[in-house]
Amino acid sequence: MDSWTEFFNMGGYGPYIWSSFLIAIAVMTGLALQSWMDLKKQKRLVSELEARAERKRS
């Protein structure tokens, strides 16, 4: 067996190990992205509302 196959096999525990790490990376990335997109959305809403208030005043 070459060393990479051996590495991915992880002594037979590969499927458990790789899925736990991949799920963690996917879920954490998803959480960070969702949080960041919500922040962008709120920033956009604030600037839209402020622009509308500005137009009304003038």
Partner 1 sequence: MAWSIHTYANPTRFMNFSAIVLPYVWALAGAGIGIGLYLSFFVAPPDYQQGDSVRIMFVHVPSAWLSQFGYGIMVVSSIVALIFRHPLADVAAKSAAPIGAVFTFLALVAGGLWGKPMWGTYWVWDARTTSTLVLLFIYLGYMALWAMIEDPNRAARVAAVLAIVGAVNLPIIRFSVDWWNTLHQPASVFRLDGPTIHSSLLWPLFVVALGFTFFFIGVLMVRMRAEILRRKVRTLQMQQAAA
CA angle in degrees (0–180, nearest 5) for 49-52-58: 145
Tokens, residue 4:
């990479």
57/29 Cα distance (integer angstroms): 42
Output the smallest distance, CB 54 to partner 1, in A: 11
- Find the binding residues for partner 1 in span 9-38 (CB under 8 A): 10-13, 16-17, 19-21, 23-24, 27-28, 31-32, 35-36, 38
Output the smallest distance, CB 1 to partner 1, in A: 14
Non-local (6+) Cβ contacts of 18 within 8 A are: 8, 10
Residues found near partner 1 in the complex (CB under 8 A) = 7, 10-13, 16-17, 19-21, 23-24, 27-28, 31-32, 35-36, 38-39, 41-43, 45-46, 49-50, 52-53, 56
